[in-house]
Amino acid sequence: MKKNYILLSILGLLLLAQKTYAMGVDETIEKYFAPFSDKFSEVIFAPINIMGAEVPILIFLMIATSIFCTFYLRCIGIWGFKHSLFQIFHKKTDTEGHKGEVSSFGALATALSGTIGLGNIAGVAIAISIGGPGAMFWMATGAIFGMALKFCEVTLSLKYRHINRDGSVSGGPMFYIERGFAKKGYHKLGKTLAYIFALACIPGTFGGGCMLQTNQAAHQFIVITGGTTGFFGIHTWVFGLFVAIVVGLVIVGGIKSISNVTTKVVPVMCLVYITACLIIILTHFTHIPQAIYTIVHEAFFPKAIYGGVIGSIIIGLRRSIQSNEAGVGSSPIAYAAVKTNEPASQGFVSMIEPFLDTVIVCSMTAFVIVLTGEYLHYTEGISGVELTSAAFASVPTMHFFPYILAVVIILFALSTILSWAYYGQKAWSFLVGEGKKRTIFYQIVFCLFIIVGSSMNVKSVVDFTDATYLVMAAPNLIAILFLLKEIKAELIEYCKRHDLIFKMNKVWFTDEQ
């Protein structure tokens, strides 16, 4: 009955979409949404002056927190990465009797499906078209430091998660912010910050969670179906409607249903895309050293058209945040559902996410774009999936790949949308309480934004997405810093139990803690 209700509601939007389109859907959306997006982004990206350069305050907070956490936890991303892999590929643990809903890999797949998406295809292209090839260097740098942030937020998410009466799990920043601060006697402050995060998470799910995904997926689909003069080029909302129906049918099943889909979709789409990237890279094997030089050199000495080194850093870090979401607080909502009694264990697993997402997959996309030289033809304005598609199509043996890329992009977009639908649903429930009718209302609105996003201007969507991510990150980063000693204590106890003693962290076992 619940599925039928959502399906009928989505189908009912067809008439609304037709009427809206008759009035000029693209123009209408651009007229009313773009000014709001631009003003909102202008406020969120308010800068401070650092050595003569203007750096957005929240970007600076993200950078400073990630660096501080990395060194405070003794560079956990380096010595702990091997254990992260062990947790996934070698550890055999009986989770019977453990609280939670999904396996460790299931949660990782769900989180990866929320991060490995169009940020790896369109996001990298956007970064390079605005900030030059050097932006990829800063994307990878942000991800490496972001591994520590990911460990912190996921560990807290499992430690302060809430087990509902029906056995389902609710967790994420809104819970560990409220409960963590209350534990230390700051109940009102914690509750305020928790509500700020949950409120920011809702538009965050609409922006980066669905609108950006369908927008870029629709663009690639239009490329292979007749271009802007074809049916989908004229009626783009139809593509969004199709995606909305598919998403609506899946999200009603909750985290278990989403996990079942993502554990199958994520490995397949990653394999297809990485294989295609490797073909391009190996085809241009002799030019790899030059590509590496270009990326590293332009990271510190970018061309003037890219806004200088500070501009390249900011663009790279913005796209890194959107790509792997370390510090944003989104993926901890999925990790909270893991069947485990050791919060730090999933914290280690979560560090795989930014490394695989940004350091590996995004770097491959960057190499494809730089090796083919296609980025030299996209220096005006923002170029997303079109640039990546053109890079693949420029290779004679891969002229057919835009069609395969369209399938991959749709799968990427679909998996990301499913994960963010779950994130938003949990944030919504935190604000208004649990309840089927309340949940259905959010799901319908979420699906509506999928349709709207399919025909929007990419710049407005990108700015809106980045801004909402940073608003989500602000209370989350404050909570991480406030509870950092608690995180460290949890980590030390875990390392003692599992004999994780290395040169970088051995001081923990020689000094009194």
pLDDT tens per residue across span 424-476: 888 888 888 777 778 888 888 888 888 777 776 667 777 777 788 888 889 99
Contact between 153 and 412 under an 8 Å Cβ cutoff? The reply is no
pLDDT at 193: 92
Q: What does the pLDDT average to over 109-113?
A: 62
Contact between 123 and 362 under an 8 Å Cβ cutoff? The reply is yes
Structure tokens at 335: 């990790």
Dihedral angle sign, alpha carbons of residues 292, 295, 296, 301: positive
pLDDT at 65: 92
pLDDT at 110: 61
The proportion of the chain whose per-residue pLDDT surpasses 90, expressed as a percent, equals 13
User: Pick the residue with more confidence: 305 or 35?
Assistant: 35
The proportion of the chain whose per-residue pLDDT surpasses 70, expressed as a percent, equals 77
Q: Indicate if the pLDDT at residue 105 is higher than 80.
A: no
Q: Classify 167 as helix, strand or coil.
A: coil
Q: What does the pLDDT average to over 113-142?
A: 80
The CA distance from 478 to 466, in Å, is: 18
Q: What does the pLDDT average to over 174-200?
A: 91
Query: In the chain, where are the structural domains located?
Result: 2-506
pLDDT at 148: 92
pLDDT at 306: 53
CATH fourth-level superfamily of 2-506: Amino acid/polyamine transporter I (1.20.1740.10)
What is the DSSP code string of 291-333? HHHHHHHHHHS--GGGTHHHHHHHHHHHHHHHHH-TTTSSTHH
pLDDT tens per residue across span 35-92: 777 777 777 777 777 666 677 788 888 888 999 999 999 889 888 888 888 877 765 5
Residue appearing with tokens 């030390």: 492
pLDDT at 252: 63
Question: Quick one: angle between helices 104-115 and 81-89, nearest 10?
Answer: 120
Q: What does the pLDDT average to over 372-401?
A: 73
The CA distance from 469 to 243, in Å, is: 23
